[in-house]
Amino acid sequence: LGPTITIGEILVEIMATDRGTGFLEPITLIGPYPSGAPAIFIDQCARIGGAAGIIACVGDDDFGRVNVARLRADGADVSAISISAEFPTGSAFVRYRTDGTRDFVFNIARSAAAQIDLSAAARALIARSGHLHVMGTALAISGTIEIIEHAIAAIKARGGSISFDPNVRKELLGQSETRARFASLVDIADLILPSGDELFVAAGVTGESEAVRALFARNASEVALKRGAKGSTVFTRDGRRIDCPAFAVEEIDPTGAGDCFGGAYVACRRLGMPIEQALTYANAAGARNVTAKGPMEGAGTRAELDAFIAMTPGRSR
Ligand code: ADP
């Protein structure tokens, strides 16, 4: 039915090399690394061999070029990435605290990412795509909503499917418009990929089985729950539960794990793999990605993930 597509922010990440340091004094930073949740997702999707494309906007600068070059090299369709003459590519500065939590300084709201529009190239990509993956992060970017809505209608009309990663920042759900968009995505998605408590936020109830049931009472037929270093579980509407223990890795940089997990899971399912196999690749993609510095530096091809799976023991096996 055509490629998997996503819509949303492309940016670069620049990170502190040492844990515990703040931005209040000069510190050593490395980067720029290609980033943005939709970009990481689509890069992993393409790397594993699924047809994949992204609708986005970057600035006419090296931060934009480094992203487009990476996505193109990894096999993603970049025809619908427009270039803003006026706004720069967004950036995120990140530092890790000693407890492993992160602190970001974002320059996205007034960047090229807010200039995504329904260009002729975007319309053409949507018209030939078979699956739309919606990122919660994109719901907060003005201008992307209309494009997402257009894509949902067009892809559903073609008999395509929708997945939703409800990774929206909690404070944004305080805004009634964002909350309504979030709820409507939960209502129409075929596959929902929450991480931890996002399951309860999406379902509107607490308790794992209650929340999963609430999602199946809407449109979803699969829920893929990400549990960080504890692995993941897929629940299906017909009552199956497939658990996948995490691979035992040393976590160097957690950014992008969930996006790689999602990109691999969606690509593998669309390639026709059964849930168990897709989930193993998704777990491997998430785990491999945390072993490398940079949001998408650890994304893997199918051969790289096969090698990773063969070499890496499970955490609780
Ligand atoms: P998100 O980035 O959306 O919060 P998670 O942190 O749950 O998502 O990561 C997604 C998946 O990546 C997990 O379900 C797991 O399979 C894998 N993963 C993430 N962190 C680790 C880790 N430290 N060790 C092993 N696997 C991990």
Q: Which atom of ligand 1 is nearest to the CA of 283?
A: 16
Tell me if the pTM is above 0.90: yes
Give CA–CA dist 279/224, Å, rounded: 9
Q: How many CB atoms lie within 10 A of CB 32?
A: 19
Question: How far is residue 143's CA from residue 286's CA, in Å, rounded to a whole number?
Answer: 30
Is residue 263 lining ligand 1, measured as CB closer than 6 Å?
no
- Both tokens of 252, joined, read 């160097």
Taking only the tens of pLDDT, the chain with its 317 residues reads 899 999 999 999 999 998 886 788 888 999 999 999 999 999 999 999 999 999 999 999 999 999 999 999 999 999 999 999 999 999 999 998 888 788 889 999 899 999 999 999 999 999 999 999 999 999 988 789 999 999 999 999 999 999 999 998 888 888 888 899 999 999 999 999 999 999 999 999 999 999 999 999 999 999 999 999 999 999 999 999 999 999 999 999 999 999 999 999 999 999 999 999 999 999 999 999 999 999 999 999 999 999 999 999 887 54
- Does ipTM come in above 0.90? yes
Residue 231: CB within 6 Å of ligand 1? yes
Mutational pocket test of ligand 1: of 223, 227, 253, 261, the residue with most ligand atoms within 8 Å of the beta carbon: 261
* Residue type at position 197: D
Q: How far apart are CA 196 and CA 296, in angstroms?
A: 21
